[in-house]
Amino acid sequence: MEPRSDNTRMIVNMGPSHPVTHGTLHIVLELEGEIIVKATPNIGYLHRGVEKLGEHLTYQQFIPLTDRLNYCSSLMNNVGYTLAVEKLLDIQDPPRSQVLRVLCSELARIGDHLVCIGINAVDIGAFTAFLYLFRERETIYDLFEMMAGQRLHSSFTRIGGLFRDIPPEFEPLCEQFLDSCPRTVDEMESLLTHNPIWADRTKGVGAITAENAVSWGYTGPCLRAAGVPQDLRKGQPYLGYDSYEFDIPVGTSGDIYDRYLVRTEEIRQSLRIVRQCLDRLRQIGPGPVIIEDYKIALPPKEKVYTRMESLIHHFKLIMHGIDMPVGEVYGATEAANGELGFYIVSHGGKSPYRIHVRPPCYPIFNSFDEQVRGRIIADAVAVLGGMNIIAGELDR
């Protein structure tokens, strides 16, 4: 669109603190009438210097920082980071821990998608779906609390396994959740999928071709909605994802409506995986959830109090950290928003020489200008919700 020559553009600031920005980000919109001529995202308001901090923390101490990347699905960040460090160490966690990691990742994915769809609908004006969805998210957070002792900032994983096993009350509540969540998703679909207002506001908005999405570096539901069946759980399976039965939903036009449909179907597929995880946990039975290599994972407290070697291991791990090999790895997992990557350069020693986080929504938000140019302000709100921008992982 050609700018008008009489200089009548209006500048509208969206954010840094605006209800639809969900976190602190700033978008400068240049308008002609109600049409957006240019959108300039201005990020960095939540920049905490995670990568710089990581260079001064031990590998174990970095886990709480990963909680604060995508705070809607912190368990997945924990899992992604520990898998990257375990790749560097070339170790594998025990089978029970692997199943539990898949279980908590999929619960986190459901939670993230529920929030994303709910908030997207609220921003556009459909308040009801949000209330139904948040009831389920509440149960997910109850489950997280049982697992990790915390609802939001879980820090559940440890290098080589998990912080602890799930308590006996977990399974009945999870069964209950598996029962009620599909009903809630049905209710949500009956409120949104065939709702003409929702369709008007989302169909064609933010449409993107597959080539363009790849060029922008899209991953996750936004890329799949554009018709590219890319999912690391299928393409480069980790944690034994290749042994679970699930399907990858793919959209056609890449618009907000397709992203919504892809996320909805992913919730159902994740529920399938959670069901399989519970069956597997019963099959495997009780067992260790962390490796018994005390040069990597802390020995159990009873041993520390009663055995000299364990006390030494405990002391060495706390004071000097893990003895890391020299090398560099890039560990990628399929997080709720797309590919979450951790690039770790180790020069040996207790802290990484360089740690870089590749957040999934960063390249996606990069395309915001192209997505909203020539559309109205209300579409910018819909696009922002459909991208699922989480400022914590955007700014790191």
Partner 1 sequence: MVIERIEAQLPGAILDRHAFRGDQTIVVEQARFLQVVDCIFAEGFQLLLDVTAVDLEIPEFRFEVVYHWLNLVSQERLRIKVPVADGASQPSLAGRFKSADWAEREVYDLFGIPFEGHPSLTRLLMWEDFPGHPLRKDFPLDGGDPFCSQDIGASFAPEARSLNA
Radius of gyration from C-alpha coordinates of the chain: 22
Give residue 251's region: left, alpha or beta (phi > 0; psi -120 to 50): beta
How many Cβ atoms sit within 10 Å of the Cβ of residue 253? Answer: 17
Does 329 help bind partner 1 (rule: CB under 8 A)?
A: yes
For residue 241, give the nearest of 99, 376, 343 by alpha carbon.
99
Burial class (CB in 10 A: 0-12, 13-18, 19+), 150: middle
Binding segment toward partner 1, per CB under 8 A, in 72-80, 228-236, 375-383, 384-392: 228-236
* Selected range binding partner 1 among 1-9, 84-92, 268-276, 297-305, rule: CB under 8 A: 84-92
Shortest reach from residue 156's CB to partner 1, in Å: 23
Restricting to residues 25-44, name those near partner 1 by CB under 8 A. Answer: 43-44
58 binds partner 1 (CB under 8 A): yes
In the complex, least distance from residue 158 CB atom to partner 1, rounded to whole angstroms: 18
Q: Shortest distance, CB of residue 58 to partner 1, whole angstroms? A: 7
Q: How far is the CB of 346 from partner 1 (least distance, A)?
A: 10
Q: Which residues does residue 332 pair with via DSSP β-bridges, in sequence order?
A: 341
Q: How far is the CB of 263 from partner 1 (least distance, A)?
A: 21
When binding is defined by CB under 8 A, the residue of 141, 354, 376, 378 that contacts partner 1 is 354
Distance between CA atoms of 365 and 169, rounded to whole angstroms?
A: 40
Among 62, 81, 241, 362, the residue binding partner 1 under the rule CB under 8 A is 362
Is residue 212 at the binding interface for partner 1, with CB under 8 A as the rule?
yes
Is residue 77 a contact point for partner 1 (CB under 8 A)? no
The Cα–Cα gap between 239 and 193 comes to: 33
CB 104 within 8 Å of CB 242: no
Contact with partner 1 (CB under 8 A): which of 4, 47, 203, 295?
47
Which residue has 């957040």 as its token pair? Answer: 359
Nearer to partner 1, 43 or 274 (CB): 43
Q: Decide whether 327 or 374 has the Cβ nearer to partner 1.
A: 327
Binding of partner 1 by 330 (CB under 8 A): yes
Q: Which stretch binds partner 1 (CB under 8 A): 2-10, 193-201, 243-251, 327-335?
A: 327-335
52 binds partner 1 (CB under 8 A): yes
HSE-up of 79 (CA within 13 Å, CB side)?
25
Task: Find the part of the chain contacting partner 1 (CB under 8 A) among 98-106, 112-120, 136-144, 356-364.
Answer: 356-364
Q: Which long-range contacts (CB under 8 A, 24 or more apart) does 21-30 make?
A: 21/384, 21/389, 21/391, 22/119, 22/384, 22/389, 22/390, 22/391, 23/389, 23/390, 23/391, 23/392, 23/394, 24/391, 25/389, 25/391, 25/394, 25/395, 27/368, 27/380, 27/384, 29/372, 29/377, 29/380
Asked if 215 touches partner 1 (CB under 8 A), the answer is yes
The yes or no reply on residue 87 touching partner 1 (CB under 8 A) is yes
Contact status, residue 320 vs residue 312, Cβ threshold 8 Å: no
Count Cα atoms within 13 angstroms, Cβ side, for 216. 26
Compare residues 262 and 329 and give the one whose CB is closer to partner 1. 329
Number of residues in contact with partner 1, rule: CB under 8 A?
44
CA distance 51 to 353: 10
Among 18, 153, 268, 350, binds partner 1 (CB under 8 A): 350
Q: Work out whether 235 is an interface residue with partner 1 (CB under 8 A).
A: yes
Burial 111-129 (b: 16+ CB within 10 A, else e): bbbbbbbbbbbbbbebeeb
Q: Which residues lie near partner 1 (CB under 8 A)? A: 43-44, 47, 49, 51-53, 56-58, 87-88, 90, 212, 214-217, 219, 228, 230, 235-236, 327-330, 332, 339, 341, 343, 345, 350-351, 353-354, 356, 358, 362-363, 366-367, 395-396
